[in-house]
Amino acid sequence: MADEMDALRVRIEAGEPPVPSRGLRGRIGYYIRRRLYRWLWWQTQQMQALADLAVRRSREETKAIDELSHSIGLLNPRMAQICDAMDALSQRIGRLPQQIQETHHIVLECRRQLRESESRFQQLEATARYTQELEIERTSLRQQVSDASDALNLAERRMAEQIVRENAISMQLGELAQRVEAENTQTEQIAARLSELGLFTHHTRAALSVQERRLSLFIEEARKGLLRPSSDGALQKTVKNHTDHKYDSLYTSFEDTFRGSREEIKSRQSVYLPLLKQHDIGSKQMPILDLGCGRGEWLELLREHDLHAIGLDSNEAMIELCKAIDLEVIQGQALPYLGTMPDASVGAVTAFHMVEHMPFDAVMALVDEMLRVLKSGGLLIVETPNPENLLVAAHTFYLDPTHLKPLPSAMLRFFVEARGFCDVDVRELHPYPDSVRLPEDGKGIASRLNGYFYGPQDYAVIGRRP
């Protein structure tokens, strides 16, 4: 269109009236028309061409808007295609203001030219009394001005329609973005629900496996009793094993409800990974033993980082759950199992939320066994609830009915160091979020209350064998 406008301008500048007819009247008319052609920058044909350009430009923009609306109607409901369509539509919408601005500039230029035409038209009226032909030319010129005004009005109306359509498209884009966000939220909720259902399925399978094994033991004992005289000792052992583990599945469900999700626990325990890598622990020469492995979050996290580890737990249901996700675990009690291990055989021994379930003499025996089985430079990591937090000491600690009593960090650190560990350190963990803390008052009272009630909920004692 810019090239066509330049060509039109050249035609205007180079325009000359037709060859005059012979005679005085013809020469006078030719002289007047030539002066008028040079005074005016446009003629009837040029003005019509300019109007055609404006109409064609408006139609092209209308066609672009129609194509854009058609593209929006063909949006695929799938998320990836919706995003692609939104990007393409946003780019086209981004070009609309520029096109509208260009059209606006054309309209302004036409108005300016109309004003100049009106000024020159007044000059034309001053010379109309000299010739009748000039009167005809003036009538034609007025018609052209009227046509140009109609064309400009039409262009303004269409530009207003384009703005309305642009606003409608913007509203549709907003609604589409809201739908995409709602679908993303629904997808996240479905994924979380599927994760919960998967975990519940694992637990159910573990509980069924435990019950099937117990039933098989009872059936085997009954079969043996039919073939030989009954052994009260074997039957009592079977009954005792059933009694010791009758709450295993219930406690597993309790852990799922109050301990937190697997991802949350793995996120919390990831703070120990740099410590293990710093001491080159986790290879087959320096393996990790996790006592009371529970649902296996720590073992799974170590496997994700290519660290070799084995877990131990007495809960049959949790052992089955760990085996269902291909974790290396053993069922048994901590102290008896440690007693079967050779000296200096592991690189690290970890116990997360285990010692609060044990009496004091068992804790001391556990520390001694840990020191014995660790290699030189091996690490002890014992994590337990922090009783310095009053909410923990007075409430959350007793949510678990198998807890005996809380262990202050200073006491546990002293006994770990006294039994032979070096570089013993206490690391406070998992404070309450800032959203529940009291705002600072400038006097230090709020800070102390935040420490008592909303401080670290757990702590870990970390020691190294010399």
Q: What percentage of the chain reaches a pLDDT higher than 70?
A: 71
pLDDT digits (tens, 9 = 90+) for 149-172: 787 788 788 888 878 887 888 788
The pairing of beta strand 329-331 with beta strand 374-385: unpaired
What pLDDT, on a 0 to 100 scale, did the predictor assign at position 230? 47
- Containing 375, the helix (H) or strand (E) segment is strand 374-385
pLDDT, position 202: 57
What's the average model confidence in pLDDT over 118-123?
A: 74
Which pLDDT band, with edges at 50, 70 and 90, does 242 fall under?
very low
What are all long-range contacts of 252-258, with beta carbons under 8 Å and residues at least 24 apart? 252/203, 252/206, 252/207, 252/295, 252/315, 252/317, 252/318, 252/321, 253/203, 254/400, 255/294, 255/295, 255/318, 256/199, 256/203, 256/295, 258/399, 258/400
- pLDDT grade for 417, boundaries at 50, 70 and 90: very high
Confidence of residue 1 (pLDDT cuts 50, 70, 90): low
Residue for token digits 């054309």?
Answer: 106
Q: 78-82, 198-202, 432-436: lowest mean pLDDT where?
A: 198-202
- Residues linked to residue 383 through DSSP beta bridges, in sequence order: 352, 460
Span 42-99, pLDDT tens digits: 455 666 666 677 668 778 887 887 787 777 666 555 666 767 767 776 777 777 677 7
3-state secondary structure the chain: CHHHHHHHHHHHHCCCCCCCCCCHHHHHHHHHHHHHHHHCCCCHHHHHHHHHHHHHHHHHHHHHHHHHHHHHHCCCCCHHHHHHHHHHHHHHHHHHHHHHHHHHHHHHHHHHHHHHHHHHHHHHHHHHHHCHHHHHHHHHHHHHHHHHHHHHHHHHHHHHHHHHHHHHHHHHHHHHHHHHHHHHHHHHHHHHHHHHHHHHHHHHHHHHHHHHHHHHHHHHHHHHHHHCCCCHHHHHHHHHHHHHCCCHHHHHHHHHHHCCCHHHHHHHHHHHHHHHHHCCCCCCCCCEEEECCCCCHHHHHHHHCCCCEEEEECCHHHHHHHHHCCCCEEECCHHHHHHHCCCCCEEEEEEECCHHHCCHHHHHHHHHHHHHHEEEEEEEEEEEECCCCHHHHHCHHHHCCCCCCCCCHHHHHHHHHHCCCEEEEEEEEEECCHHHCCCCCCCCHHHHHHHHHHCEEEEEEEEECC
Q: Is the pLDDT of residue 465 over 70?
A: yes
Asked if residue 358 has pLDDT above 70, the reply is: yes
